Each structure stands twice: as structure tokens, then as C-alpha cells.
């Protein structure tokens, strides 16, 4: 939600002086570009960019002042190497720790050796799911060698692959290599900068030499304070002043991805999938990518501007290799990106190439700048993009497996006005045979914007309303934000004040500012006591009027503050542990998200998987639920960007993601609405949402023929739920996104490395959303590795490369990939709950050899019982004219597995479509447990080369059967 237009649209209720003040704030802060800082307005970014410019100007005459201290290298354990680093300009010593971790991962940490006070380093306990596991080594697999010149080489060998970490002493530089080929370098360009803590009295500003004009014989040189030094101890932006009691404390490092022309990730930005340059180059941005969670009103598209979330994970890919870097720092961060061709590469890169010619390859040079904290980064060796994401989520946690209902369609607007309105919308979906699973309530359901309360005149009997929904298997989601109204006799506020659970001002008083309720305070989620208290508020005896089918929406948790700088919290505010907000800003949303998810999970005696949607997020948020791309516009450009934004979130590990359909602000045309619903079928999170000033646009209100087209899209989503749920289960184990860039499935095809308007859902479905008004055709790129089949007609597509295909308004180009089996449920139901015992349809898309494989995962869709083995995981295989299945359950013999499989024997296959069959079979038989073959009824469609088998009498829970096509 956004506050600017909302306040403007509700003048009739803003009657107090305080709310009028909020209105004035809203009018001035509705999104304008100058409401948010540029790098030049952010002192630490300006300093480090200026440092980079100075290094560039000096060229080969510059040498980084950081050097490894001779004889300081120690092997603390076989997988832990330590050393000291000295800044020869300041004589400040730093500590270096290099860890070799399991699964081809390395960690590099740099901190002050003797800081005048500790630097912030507490966030890893929240960001990481546990202490990273060191690599188990042996002498023949790991070797640490130091040359006479002081070069330290760490050699790791696995699976005939040699990985090396090489640390150069003068200047300090770290290189990561695979089979002696450069992969990633730290401080390759000499931009490493670690601003040590100091007092204002001991601060020595950077000085620059300046020639004084005069006659040639009397010219002189004078040193002056560098202009970028301003703001080191106090900084102003618009009407706000940021005192910096710790002075300059930024950290920066240049990271080079050798011979990688494309890098991805670092969500959240409304930018391209393949990240753009930010300094020089065609179509480069003028500012770095920024990671600083902010509430950006009507955010700009095609921009490096920071948005609601921040994940400092960057993934690089080239033919034959992927790699990644996770810069674990929750303070404000800027990232510059520059592409360099081989002839522009540094001497270091040329040396690392060992005389090999790079043949004009492009490398990506990045510059990471954070305001505070320590350098703590992880390097992932890959070798594939899926490997990098597995390595990353092994550290920060794999995505949670959500309840199955959350994969269905969600209906929301700001706001359904009362209980009658909610139930009327619910009944209208039924009357029009439109499936949906969840209806949502925005802030107006509360009593005067006080969270954990109900407006009694509008919602007098919320439990009865929830029971009506529950009788159909449907859920209610209500909004709960982290700002708490300052009000007397409001239990939540009084408890938090009494127990000191709010963020503080530097003088120790509660921090107060403006948000939806007016004067508010913010829960300090950095406090363990505050997190425990917050979780308890979701219990049914505290959040009165809720029951088990109520779930939660966290909005405004960047945090969003109407009268704060950049619409967020002042950086000098104090959190538990006496930490300034500046050091953990991006972490705030993660902690609020986690606390809410834990509270929903723990509110029942038998824990159920929580569903929580968060707008703000940070690394590790995938463990707790879904996010969405924020308050977008109902226009064609926003529809286009919903795809690269969702893909990029997935590349940052945030896989349960989607956009407001069909745009939050303004009124979409019927054509735009249809196209957006079609695209959202293939995005992980599928929610219709609308601003309060928009016309009602529930899908049953759309005129024909658009209504039927929208209904077809909704039904296709529900038909694909078994496939989606299986993909979510896979993601919960390996971290692989469900919605994937094309290059993730086709990593050798360079023409796909920047493709962002076409994507894969899993490995079995390719989608090309139509995002151009009035279009009846579009271009689709067909890879030539296997055949494709039209998802609507099942007709084979005999095309290779880029081709124009027909795409009338009622059709989205989507294709099954040869060699893959896609499970579906095709009976028309009102919600996913109604489908639980429905039979399955298998779509078998044959490859060129006539083979195909696919999996299906089933559990109760609600509890954590799958953790005890109560699930079914089946692999289907089609080869040599025979379809078979086998259980791939990791513990199929456990008591829970056997019991659940027995209960689910009723889950059968009711239809099989085999695509790509060139001739009609003479007969089709089924054999179950070696018993006598039975003939099966089938149809053969010669036009589409398809066999359809009816009722094969087979179970997905009990394998041991075979269907033979003769």
C-alpha cells in the first residue's frame, strides 16, 4: 500500500490537526525522484566513488595501501586460514579470516583488529539459518602453500576439479580460480576501502593536491580537504540532518567476475534481468544499484533505485560456468557495475589468464559500498546457476514449503468495506464458477488503524465471516504492520511502552513518527523480548476475532515512515543492543517477517505452515513466506517489468514472488486485465489487488468476452497446481526457483543470457507473456534441443530459433518441453481445498527419442507432517512405449510414509495425454503388480500427434504398474 494517494483520497476523514499534518506530508512526499538520495547525496557512497575515480585517474601508478602482514598467515584449522592486513597509509590493522565451507563455498571476513568499539556484526544469526559448516578436508584434497614472495595458495580438489584461492600480499588481493581459470577477484582494481572507527578529534580527512595559478616560475602546489569529505560527521538531506556519532565507517570492495558478460540478482529493483552498467557504456544508469529498503511511491521502471527489499546476492553466468557472491551486510549498500572487454582488463587479469587469449570476452567489474559493519562475503564456485542458488540457500535457508492454498488465486483490494462486502465477493466467485482461495482485508478493517483489532461497525462478527469462508476451504488474510498507534487504552501500545519494546531515540525515549494511524511507534524487532511478545499477539485469545483460516500480511515494514527522510526511519535511532538503525536497516523487515511467521505457526497446538506476505525483505526471507513487487501501475510497461522483477527476485533466493494483478494504481483496460491474468498464471504468487480509488475489478465484473478469457486463465492456474506444488517442494530442498530465466535451463545458449520476456516454469513449461497492447502475435525463441508442444492444443511445434507465433487475446503462448511429464488436475472446483482428492491428468511430452520423465509431490498441504515422512513423491517415466512409476520418497519404509501412502491410494490417474506420437497405436494395456494386462480405451488425434488414454486405473501412491503403448 502507498500512503500518498491514500491520504489524498480520504480527506473527509482527516479531521484532526495531526492527520492534516500527515496529509501535508503526503502531498510533499508523493514519489518524486528527489525524494530519494542519489549516490552523490549519500556521503559514504560519494567518498568511495570518488576514491574509485582517483584510482582510475592514477592508473598503473596507483597501488592499494592494504597489504598482508608478513608471517601473520595462520592455519587455525584445515578449513580456516587467518592473517592480518595493514593499511600502510593509516597504520590501522585489520583481521582476515578465510573459511572453506561445504558445497564449493568460501567465506572471507575482514574486521578491525582493535576497534575503539565493536563494529556491527550481529546480523548473521538472523540472516543465516545456522553456523556455516566447514569443509571436511584431508591432506590430499586441501593444501595451503606460501611462496617466498608471500603469496598464499589454497588448493581444493573435488570430482576432478581443482579450485584455488590465491591471496597476494602486496597489495592485498584475493583470486578464486577453477582449473586454473580466473573466476572472481577481490581488490583487483584496488578499490578496497575500510574506514576504521575513530573520534572526531583524531579524524584526518583526505587531502588532495591542487595547483595554484600564477606565473610559470612561481607556481605552487597546495593541499586542500577533498570535497567529498563533507558529511563524514554530519549529513543533511532536504530538511533532515543525520548526525554521525561514529563518523565515517563505510566498507567497500571491488569484485571482478572474469569473462562473465552477464550478472544477475541483487533484488529488488525495477530493472532488467541481466543487470545494466552504472558507469559508462551504452544505456548505462547514472547511479549505482542501491540496496536500501524504502517505500517508493509509484516507483520508476528501468531504474537502479532501491525498492522494498534488499538481497546482496549477485550471480554471474557464462557458457560452462556460473559463480556467485553474497555480500552479507544489512546497511545501506550501493553497487556499481562496469563491463570491460579483454583489451581493457587489468594486468592482474592478464596474468591470471596464464597466457591464454580471452578472445574478446567481456568481464564484469563491480564495486560494492556499504555504510557500516564488516566485510563478510561468500563466494560460490557453482558450477551451474542452480548450484549457486543451492549453495546460497544452504547458508540462508531454503524456501519454506507453503500451504497449498497459497498457490491458488488471492483476491484483494484496498479495501473490502465490511463483512457483507467480503461475503458478497465470495458468493459472486461461486456464482460465476471462478475458483479462488483467499480474500484479503486492508487497513480499514481495524478500529482506527489499531492493529490486532476490528472495526465493530463494519465487522461485528468476524468469526462467523471466517466460518463461511472456511466451509468452502477458503482463507482470510488481514494486514498487520509494525507501526503501533500511540493511543491510550490500546493494549498493544500500552504493553510495548511498559516493557520498552519500541525503537528508541538517542536520548532513550520511544521513537515516534507518522504512519497510517497518525502518531506511531515502531516495534524493535532486534530485541528478543520484542520478538517473543509480537509472536504472542497472533494467538487466538489475543487477536480476538481470528481462527485458523486467518493468515497475515506485513506491509510498510521497510520500515515506512511518512515524515521520515526518504520515507523511512532516521538512521540515528537506537535498537536493542545500542545499535544505530543505520547498521541494520535492511534487516528490520526480515526480523518483522520472521516474527510474524513464527507467531502464526505457533498459535495452534498442532503447528500449521504459516502464510505471511511481506513487502520488505532481506536475505533469508525465503524461509518465511511470500513477497510481492509492491505498488505498481496498471499499464503495459508495468506488466512487462513484472516478469524480470519476479525472475530477479528468484535469482536472489526469493522464489515465492509475484506482482499485483492487474496493477495497483489506476484502472486497467479489459485487454490489459486479461493479459495480466494470463501472465500471473505462471508467476509463483498470484494476487489480484487494487487501490481504493480504482473501480471494482473483480474478475467476474469484467464484460464478455474478457470474462471468459480471465476465467480460462484462473482455471489453468488451478489445473497446474500439482505441478506448482511439486516445484515448490523441489525449491524447499534445493533453492531452485519455480519461475526461471531461460538460461537456467539452457545454460549453453548465449542468445538467452539476457532474455527476460520469456521464461521457464520448472523445467517443463516455457511461457512468453504478451505485454504489448493490441498484439495478436509475438516472437518466441524455441531452443533446438527437444521438441515443444502448444500447452493449449498439444500440437507439436516444429520450429527452432526465434519465430513469430499467433497470440490472439484469448491465448498466452505457453509450451510443454519435450522430455517432461507435467501433472495436472482438470476437474472444475471452487478452491484448492476442493481438489484434494481429485484424480490427476498426466501430460507426457515426448523428446526426440520418445522418452519423458516427471515427478509429482503430494502431502496434506497444511501441516509439517511431511517432515516425518507423511508424503508421496513419485517419478513417472515413459520409455520404449511404456509408462511406469516409482516412489522416490527418501524414507518410503518409515511408518508415517507407509500410513500416508495407504490413505492416499485413492489418488488415481484419470487421464494420460502422450504428445508427439507419430502413428496410432494398435492397442494400449495396463499391467498392475504383474497381474493380467487389461486393455485401455484411448483416442488418437492424428492432427496433433496425440494419444489420450481414459481411466488407466492406476494410483499415484501405489506404483508397480505399467501402461504399454503397442
If you write DSSP's letter for every residue of 388-455 in order, what string do you get? HHHHHHHHH-PPP---GGGGSEEE--TT--SHHHHHHHHHHHHHTT----EEEE-GGGSBTTBTT---
Strand partners, 370: 251, 333
User: How buried is 306 (Cβ within 10 angstroms: 0-12 exposed, 13-18 middle, 19+ buried)?
Assistant: buried
Whether the bond into 188 is cis, omega within 30 of 0: no
Are 176 and 158 within 8 A, CB to CB? Answer: no
Are 480 and 552 within 8 A, CB to CB? Answer: yes
Determine the Cα–Cα distance for residues 934 and 30; give it in Å rounded to an integer.
69
Dump strand ranges (E) for 615-659.
Answer: 617-618, 626-628, 657-658
User: How buried is 429 (Cβ within 10 angstroms: 0-12 exposed, 13-18 middle, 19+ buried)?
Assistant: buried
* 58 alpha carbon, distance to own chain's centre: 39
Q: Who's near 658: CB < 8 A, 6+ residues apart?
A: 626, 628, 629, 642, 646, 680, 683, 684, 685, 686, 687
DSSP code of residue 513: E
145 CB neighbour count, 10 Å cutoff: 10
Are 759 and 423 within 8 A, CB to CB? Answer: no
Residue numbers annotated as active site: 555, 631
Instruction: Quote the crossing angle between the two packed helices 462-470 and 419-431, to the nearest 10°.
Output: 10
Question: CA angle, 155 as apex, 149 and 160 as ends, to 5°?
Answer: 145
DSSP code of residue 623: G
715 CB neighbour count, 10 Å cutoff: 17
CA quadruple 549, 555, 557, 558: dihedral, nearest 10: 140
Question: Taking Cα atoms as reference points, which of 340, 427, 436, 302 lies closest to residue 718?
Answer: 436
If you write DSSP's letter for every residue of 161-177 in order, what string do you get? EEEEEEEETTTTEEEEE
Element (H, E) at 550: strand 550-554
Q: Round the CA-based radius of gyration of the chain to a whole number and report it.
A: 29
Determine the Cα–Cα distance for residues 887 and 891; give it in Å rounded to an integer.
10
If you write DSSP's letter for every residue of 781-800 in order, what string do you get? EE-SSS-EEETTT--EE---
DSSP code of residue 511: P
3 CB neighbour count, 10 Å cutoff: 24
Determine the Cα–Cα distance for residues 155 and 79; give it in Å rounded to an integer.
11
Are 212 and 221 within 8 A, CB to CB? Answer: yes
The full 3-state SS of 217-234, as one line of letters, equals CCCEEEEEECHHHCCCCE
Determine the Cα–Cα distance for residues 699 and 432; give it in Å rounded to an integer.
9
Determine the Cα–Cα distance for residues 362 and 343; give it in Å rounded to an integer.
9
CA quadruple 423, 425, 426, 428: dihedral, nearest 10: 120
User: How buried is 155 (Cβ within 10 angstroms: 0-12 exposed, 13-18 middle, 19+ buried)?
Assistant: middle
Determine the Cα–Cα distance for residues 759 and 768; give it in Å rounded to an integer.
7
Strand partners, 225: 207
Amino acid at each position: 500500500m502507498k500512503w500518498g494517494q491514500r491520504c489524498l483520497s480520504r480527506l473527509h476523514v482527516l479531521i484532526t490537526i495531526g492527520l492534516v499534518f500527515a496529509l501535508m506530508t503526503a502531498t510533499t512526499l508523493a514519489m518524486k525522484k528527489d525524494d530519494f538520495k542519489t549516490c552523490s547525496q549519500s556521503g559514504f557512497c560519494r567518498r568511495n566513488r570518488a576514491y574509485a575515480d582517483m584510482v582510475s585517474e592514477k592508473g598503473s601508478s596507483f597501488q592499494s595501501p592494504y597489504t598482508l602482514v608478513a608471517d601473520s598467515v595462520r592455519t587455525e584449522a584445515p578449513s580456516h586460514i587467518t592473517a592480518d592486513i595493514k593499511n600502510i597509509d593509516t597504520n590501522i590493522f585489520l583481521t582476515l579470516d578465510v573459511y572453506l565451507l561445504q558445497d564449493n563455498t568460501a567465506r572471507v571476513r575482514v574486521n578491525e583488529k582493535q576497534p575503539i568499539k565493536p563494529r556491527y556484526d550481529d546480523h548473521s544469526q538472523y540472516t543465516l539459518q545456522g553456523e556455516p559448516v566447514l569443509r571436511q578436508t584431508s591432506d590430499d584434497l586441501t593444501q595451503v602453500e606460501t611462496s617466498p614472495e608471500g603469496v598464499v595458495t589454497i588448493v581444493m580438489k573435488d570430482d576432478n576439479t581443482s579450485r584455488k584461492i590465491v591471496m597476494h600480499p602486496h597489495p592485498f588481493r584475493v583470486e578464486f580460480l577453477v582449473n586454473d581459470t580466473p573466476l572472481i577477484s577481490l581488490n583487483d582494481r584496488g578499490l578496497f576501502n575500510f574506514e576504521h572507527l575513530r573520534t572526531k578529534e583524531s579524524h584526518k580527512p583526505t587531502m588532495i593536491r591542487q595547483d595554484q595559478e600564477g606565473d610559470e616560475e612561481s607556481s605552487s602546489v597546495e593541499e586542500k580537504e577533498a570535497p567529498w569529505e563533507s558529511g563524514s560527521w554530519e549529513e543533511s538531506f532536504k530538511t533532515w540532518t543525520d548526525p554521525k556519532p561514529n563518523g565515517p565507517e563505510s566498507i567497500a570492495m571491488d569484485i571482478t567476475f572474469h569473462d562473465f558478460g552477464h550478472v544477475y540478482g541483487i533484488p529488488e529493483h525495477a530493472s532488467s534481468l541481466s543487470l545494466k552498467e552504472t558507469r559508462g557504456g551504452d544505456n548505462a544508469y547514472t547511479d549505482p544499484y542501491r540496496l536500501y529498503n524504502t517505500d517508493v511511491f509509484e516507483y520508476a521502471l528501468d531504474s537502479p533505485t532501491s525498492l522494498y527489499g534488499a538481497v546482496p546476492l549477485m550471480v554471474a553466468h557464462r557458457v560452462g560456468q556460473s559463480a556467485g557472491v553474497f555480500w552479507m551486510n544489512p546497511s545501506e549498500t550501493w553497487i556499481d557495475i562496469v563491463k570491460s572487454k579483454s583489451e581493457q582488463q587489468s594486468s592482474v587479469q592478464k596474468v591470471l589468464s596464464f597466457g591464454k587469449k580471452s578472445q574478446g570476452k567481456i568481464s564484469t567489474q563491480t564495486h560494492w559500498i556499504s555504510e557500516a559493519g564488516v566485510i563478510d562475503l561468500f563466494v560460490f564456485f557453482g558450477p551451474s546457476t542452480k548450484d549457486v542458488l543451492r549453495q546460497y540457500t544452504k547458508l540462508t535457508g531454503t524456501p519454506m514449503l507453503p500451504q497449498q492454498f497459497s498457490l491458488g488465486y488471492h483476491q484483494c483490494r484496498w479495501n473490502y468495506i465490511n463483512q457483507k462486502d467480503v461475503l458478497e465477493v465470495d458468493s459472486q466467485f461461486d456464482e460465476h464458477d471462478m475458483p479462488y482461495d483467499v480474500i484479503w482485508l486492508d487497513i480499514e478493517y481495524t478500529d482506527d488503524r489499531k492493529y490486532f483489532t476490528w472495526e465493530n461497525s463494519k465487522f461485528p462478527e468476524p468469526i462467523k465471516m471466517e466460518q463461511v469462508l472456511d466451509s468452502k476451504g477458503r482463507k482470510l488474510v488481514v494486514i498487520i504492520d509494525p507501526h503501533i498507534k500511540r493511543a491510550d487504552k490500546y493494549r498493544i501500545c500500552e504493553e510495548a511502552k511498559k516493557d520498552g519494546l519500541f525503537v528508541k531515540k538517542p536520548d532513550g525515549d520511544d521513537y515516534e513518527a507518522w504512519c497510517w494511524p497518525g502518531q506511531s511507534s515502531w516495534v524493535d524487532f532486534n530485541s528478543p523480548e520484542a520478538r517473543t511478545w509480537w509472536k504472542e499477539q497472533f494467538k487466538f485469545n489475543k487477536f480476538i476475532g481470528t481462527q485458523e483460516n486467518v493468515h497475515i500480511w506485513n506491509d510498510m515494514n521497510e520500515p515506512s515512515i511518512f515524515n521520515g527522510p526518504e520515507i523511512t526511519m532516521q538512521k540515528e535511532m537506537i535498537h536493542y543492543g545500542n545499535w544505530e538503525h543505520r547498521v541494520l536497516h535492511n534487516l528490520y523487515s526480515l526480523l518483522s517477517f520472521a516474527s510474524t511467521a513464527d507467531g502464526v505457526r505457533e498459535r495452534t497446538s498442532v503447528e500449521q505452515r504459516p502464510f505471511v506476505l511481506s513487502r520488505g525483505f532481506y536475505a533469508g526471507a525465503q524461509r518465511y513466506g511470500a513477497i510481492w513487487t509492491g505498488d505498481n501501475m496498471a499499464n503495459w510497461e508495468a506488466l512487462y517489468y513484472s516478469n524480470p522483477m519476479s525472475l530477479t527476485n528468484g535469482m536472489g533466493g526469493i522464489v515465492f514472488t509475484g506482482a499485483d494483478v492487474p496493477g495497483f494504481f489506476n484502472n486497467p483496460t479489459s485487454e490489459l486485465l486479461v493479459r495480466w491474468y494470463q501472465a500471473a498464471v505462471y508467476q509463483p504468487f498470484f494476487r489480484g489487488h487494487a487501490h481504493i480509488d480504482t473501480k471494482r475489478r473483480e474478475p467476474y465484473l469484467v464484460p464478455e468476452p474478457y470474462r471468459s478469457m480471465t476465467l480460462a486463465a484462473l482455471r489453468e492456474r488451478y489445473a497446474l497446481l500439482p505441478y506448482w506444488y511439486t516445484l515448490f517442494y523441489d525449491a524447499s530442498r534445493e533453492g531452485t526457483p519455480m519461475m526461471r530465466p531461460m538460461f537456467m535451463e539452457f545454460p549453453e545458449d548465449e542468445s538467452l543470457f539476457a532474455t527476460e520476456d520469456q521464461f521457464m516454469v520448472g523445467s517443463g513449461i516455457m511461457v512468453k507473456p504478451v505485454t504489448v497492447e493490441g498484439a495478436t502475435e509475438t516472437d518466441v525463441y524455441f531452443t533446438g534441443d527437444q521438441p515443444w508442444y502448444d500447452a493449449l492444443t498439444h500440437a507439436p511445434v516444429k520450429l527452432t530459433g526465434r519465430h513469430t507465433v499467433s497470440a490472439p487475446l484469448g491465448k498466452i503462448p505457453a509450451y510443454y518441453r519435450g522430455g517432461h511429464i507435467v501433472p495436472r488436475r482438470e476437474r472444475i472446483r471452487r478452491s484448492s481445498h476442493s481438489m484434494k482428492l481429485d484424480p490427476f491428468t498426466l501430460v507426457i511430452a515426448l523428446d526426440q527419442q520418445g522418452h519423458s520423465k516427471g515427478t509429482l509431490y503430494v502431502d496434506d498441504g497444511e501441516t509439517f507432517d511431511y517432515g516425518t515422512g507423511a508424503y508421496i513423491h513419485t517419478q513417472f517415466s515413459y520409455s520404449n512405449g511404456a509408462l511406469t512409476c516409482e516412489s522416490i520418497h527418501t524414507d518410503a519404509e518409515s511408518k508415517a510414509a507407509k500410513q500416508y501412502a495407504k490413505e492416499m491410494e485413492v489418488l488415481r490417474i484419470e487421464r494420460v495425454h502422450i504428445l508427439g506420437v507419430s502413428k496410432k497405436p494398435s492397442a494400449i494395456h495396463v499391467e498392475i503388480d504383474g497381474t493380467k494386462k487389461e486393455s485401455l480405451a484411448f483416442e488418437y488425434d492424428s492432427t496433433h500427434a496425440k494419444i489420450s488414454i481414459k481411466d488407466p486405473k492406476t494410483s499415484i501412491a501405489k506404483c508397480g504398474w505399467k501402461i504399454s503403448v503397442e
